[in-house]
Amino acid sequence: MAVPDSVKREYTKYVQELIRRPSLTGEEGDIAEFVLNSLKELGVNCYVDIAGNVVGQITCGAGPTVMLNGHLDVVPAGNLDAWAPYTPFGGDVDGDLIVGRGASDLKAGLAAQFFALKYFKEQVDLGKRFDGTLIFSAVVHEEAAEMLGMQVLIEQTLPSRAQSVDLCILCEPSSGKIALGHRGKVELVVSTMGKTAHSSQPKQGVNALQKMVPVMDYVFDEMPSTLKSHPVLGESSVTVTDCIVKPGAQSIVPDYCEISIDRRYMPQESIPELIGEFDRLFARLSEKDPEFKAVARTRSYDERTYTGYEQTVDKYHPAWLTDPELPIVKKALDALPAVGQKADCIYWKFGTDGSMTAGLHNIPTIGYSHAQEKWAHQPKEQVSITEMCKTIEGTVAMAAAVLGLEE
């Protein structure tokens, strides 16, 4: 299918409406209502689940299920001066560009998936048929990097409706290429413990910050040379991103120190293994220093979605890879040349909800959008309208091939 000018104008307006609804993580209620109303107007079966995820679907037979997926939340706008002459939530159109927070990551992609669903609905209304189910899903709490919205969707919402997924297409930015996975990410917390004392007599205490020094030396100087690599995912990485001491007041030796560690890892590694690396370090340090006490754990938070749903979640994204030769994946990718697109494959550097679908639930998952990764989370975030219309075409082509939509 080629996107007509009338649809191009309608699509542009829809992206603008999404951008004009600021939707920081935990504040997606307004945009969720807008998307739900759009699905109702389309006339498809739709609902909002307990976490606030918005779902619409068309079923036309007992064949496979293709799930189109994106997230509703965006990161904060940052320094407004850096956006000039645009505004973060204005949805400004400048020639072929739409500018605004979330344009690339990933409201333009989400809109493209909505228009793919819209195309299927129009074809069914014209009497065409396919065999299977097409799901459009817009989830909450993706930018928080803990997969809360997707977890509820995959582990609670869809199973409660006896619904499985055979192929998931994420609309994270991929510059028109097919993303087949990414490294794992986990936020580790290392804490050292000591004993308070007056800073005028530090030998009467145990300085927790001082005890953290050999741990940080290990992370910065020794650990990088031990990290594993992968032929397509590249290198693992590790770095310290934050340091907190308590009580954190003048004239007192701190008895607690905590660092946050960003650890990128490979599919063959597990969280217990990553924590075990530090446990072994702690054992060595304790042999040399009887006063050394430390623990390592994954960072966890108590999160609350805009619907009031609450859950404790860990800050991690498991690594995942999708085999392009899987029959259902190959069928989808083989459909792209018919609309003038190549199925060039890449692997993301950043984390996505594919960690939930593919990494934890083995659902074949690919990423696809003509939005560019370089604009994600940047000031003047933008997409090309012309390029994003290719995303509509490609999404329709892949879903139609898998589901057998009549030409």
User: What's the whole-number mean pLDDT along residues 4-28?
Assistant: 97
Distance CA 128, CA 58 (A): 13
Give the total residue count for the chain: 407
Q: Which residues contact 40 (CB under 8 A, 6 or more apart)?
A: 46
Distance CA 154, CA 46 (A): 16
Note the pLDDT tens digit of each residue in 276-323: 999 999 999 999 999 999 999 999 999 999 999 999 999 999 999 999
Does residue 407 surpass a pLDDT of 90?
Answer: no
Distance CA 235, CA 166 (A): 30
Distance CA 348, CA 346 (A): 7
Cα distances (angstroms) measured from residue 196 to each of 208, 252, 314, 322, 323: 9, 6, 31, 51, 54
pLDDT computed for residue 406 by the predictor: 87
Determine what percent of the chain is predicted with pLDDT higher than 70: 100
Domains of the chain, each with CATH number or no CATH: 5-182+319-403 (3.40.630.10), 184-302 (3.30.70.360)
Q: What does the block give as tokens for 368?
A: 């696809």
CB atoms within 10 A of CB 310: 11
Q: What does the block give as tokens for 252?
A: 């007192």
User: What's the whole-number mean pLDDT along residues 63-78?
Assistant: 98
In one letter, which amino acid is 347?
Y
pLDDT computed for residue 119 by the predictor: 97
Identify the band that residue 146 occupies on the pLDDT scale cut at 50, 70 and 90.
confident
Cα distances (angstroms) measured from residue 260 to each of 169, 229, 297: 32, 22, 10
User: What's the whole-number mean pLDDT along residues 248-277?
Assistant: 96
Q: What does the block give as tokens for 401?
A: 């091939």
Burial 282-309 (b: 16+ CB within 10 A, else e): beebeeeeeebbbebeebeeebebbbeb
pLDDT computed for residue 145 by the predictor: 81
Q: Do the beta carbons of residue 357 and residue 365 sit within 8 Å?
A: yes
pLDDT computed for residue 2 by the predictor: 84
Q: Do the beta carbons of residue 106 and residue 70 sit within 8 Å?
A: yes
User: What's the whole-number mean pLDDT along residues 75-91?
Assistant: 97
| Nearest in space to 36 (alpha carbons), one of 56, 14, 66 | 56
pLDDT computed for residue 381 by the predictor: 98
| Nearest in space to 136 (alpha carbons), one of 320, 395, 329, 323 | 395
Does residue 1 surpass a pLDDT of 70?
Answer: no
Would you give the DSSP letter of residue 325? Answer: T
User: What's the whole-number mean pLDDT along residues 334-352?
Assistant: 96
Distance CA 179, CA 101 (A): 22
E strands along 43-183, which residues? 45-48, 54-59, 65-71, 92-94, 97-99, 133-139, 167-170, 178-182
Cα distances (angstroms) measured from residue 354 to each of 31, 77, 247: 22, 25, 40
pLDDT computed for residue 91 by the predictor: 98
pLDDT computed for residue 76 by the predictor: 97
User: What's the whole-number mean pLDDT along residues 121-139?
Assistant: 97
Note the pLDDT tens digit of each residue in 226-243: 999 999 999 999 999 999
Would you give the DSSP letter of residue 113? Answer: H
> Which pTM does this prediction carry?
0.94
In one letter, which amino acid is 123?
Q
Mean pLDDT of the chain: 97
